[in-house]
Structure 1
């Protein structure tokens, strides 16, 4: 039976971490919690689980945090989830079956459903729901070395499959969380632009945020999600505007 390492990045993640680990412990041969300074009960909850290591690593960006996690894993097959992604029973059973029969692909995608502001939604910038992110991969052929700092992605694989089952991503439980993550994500997205030396023009700063609202509210079916869809259309507008403004400000200063 092929052994797998599981890790999750945490920061004040007490809300869902127990539920996630209760399921993951049935399929993971080691569990790593890569924490960036939680002050809630995350560490206390994690300490109740066997075969689970709680490791602090100072947060720089999501890419570096995942590279650190990958290097800390004991086994080459790595499964990871966000701290607000809950796997269903079908997914756990599918991975258990793969462990016994063998992994034939470099990377595996998992169906992900999005719940935002306590509502199942059709889209949230920059992702439609459901999407199929890679959440299980072999580090001998895949890694995060070429990933952006935010909305990070695995690359390097030559073959991929889809695992039966799904995860439910429960994010932005309230507007306070949305505001905090909007600030963090746009900081990282702006840094991605800076690293690529892409200075946004004034025209982009004016028109692209409007285009983002129209795209994600109208063409990506946000209108089907009622008032939450409107709020997420505004989120797409603000995300785009803040990302460009922050990048332009930095590049103008340098």
Structure 2
């Protein structure tokens, strides 16, 4: 039977970390929490629940996770964020895969919560992520936002049933603040990669984002929540490209 280390990165996650770690009980053999010097009770709660806590000032999403992977004791790593938790079906699926012998990597479907409701359409679902992998064969990239897992070619990917429950978007204000922060990071990344944006793209890309989320991906089936999220996605697209345009103007300005 293979053994699994869970790696969780945190920063002031006292309201979430207990739910996350309790969902891992009986599924993994070790929990490593990489904590960005939280000022709340995150680290104390994690230690009380048996996690090994590494206090590490923020390096970035990917580097922070890679540090946790390097500190893990076991060959396979299950990567979670503090506001995520395994549902019962996914817990059983991971245990069955572990008991049968792990091979390759495993993808899960993430079920995102918005304002108290889990969203099953739009751009939020099925939101598949590879989260269970051999730590010597996978590395998180250094993207400042939406970090990705770099995997070798030819590694088999199996899909596990169940859901990774993502308790995000608690309030509209939280969503707007997060969209503003992430759009800044995304614009900076695009600019550094040499991407440029036209006024036409700034005008039409948000409209297409809304259409894709609400119509093509059937966000309308989630009612008012689906409408709100489609609007928020469109706004995030607008912010990202408008900020990229601003960076272009600043770079072109005479010095």
Work out whether the TM-score is over 0.5: yes
Measured in 1, the distance between the counterparts of 2:131 and 2:86 equals: 11
> Aligned match of 2:131 in 130, 135, 142?
135
User: For residue 200 of structure 1, what is the aligned residue in structure 2?
Assistant: 197
Alignment of 1:134-153 (within 5 A): 134-145=130-141, 148-153=143-148
User: For residue 85 of structure 1, what is the aligned residue in structure 2?
Assistant: 84
1:160 aligns with 2:151: no
User: For residue 40 of structure 2, what is the aligned residue in structure 1?
Assistant: 40
> Aligned match of 2:245 in 238, 245, 248?
248
Q: 1:245 to 1:86 in 2, by over 3 A?
A: same
Q: 1:225 to 1:139 in 2, by over 3 A?
A: same
User: For residue 2 of structure 1, what is the aligned residue in structure 2?
Assistant: 2
1:62 aligns with 2:61: yes
2:150 counterpart SS class: coil
The structural deviation recorded for 1:219 is: 1.6
Q: Is the 8 A contact 2:8 2:65 kept in 1?
A: no
The structural deviation recorded for 1:187 is: 2.0
The structural deviation recorded for 1:18 is: 0.8
Aligned residues: 249
CA displacement, residues 232-252 of structure 1 (integer Å, 9 cap, x when unaligned): 122111111111122222233
User: For residue 14 of structure 1, what is the aligned residue in structure 2?
Assistant: 14
User: For residue 213 of structure 2, what is the aligned residue in structure 1?
Assistant: 216
The structural deviation recorded for 1:110 is: 1.2
Q: Which ranges of structure 1 fall in alignment gaps of 5 or more residues? A: none
> Aligned match of 2:232 in 231, 235, 243?
235
Measured in 2, the distance between the counterparts of 1:115 and 1:251 equals: 35
Q: 1:122 to 1:94 in 2, by over 3 A?
A: closer
Q: 1:137 to 1:33 in 2, by over 3 A?
A: same
User: For residue 104 of structure 1, what is the aligned residue in structure 2?
Assistant: 103
1:121 aligns with 2:88: no
Q: Is the 8 A contact 1:150 1:188 kept in 2?
A: yes
The structural deviation recorded for 1:150 is: 1.9
Q: 1:58 to 1:238 in 2, by over 3 A?
A: farther
2:74 counterpart SS class: coil
1:133 counterpart SS class: strand
Q: Is the 8 A contact 2:20 2:86 kept in 1?
A: yes
Measured in 2, the distance between the counterparts of 1:191 and 1:77 equals: 33
Q: Is the 8 A contact 1:61 1:188 kept in 2?
A: no
Q: Is the 8 A contact 1:114 1:123 kept in 2?
A: no
Q: 1:165 to 1:228 in 2, by over 3 A?
A: closer
Measured in 2, the distance between the counterparts of 1:29 and 1:11 equals: 23
The structural deviation recorded for 1:109 is: 0.6
1:47 counterpart SS class: helix
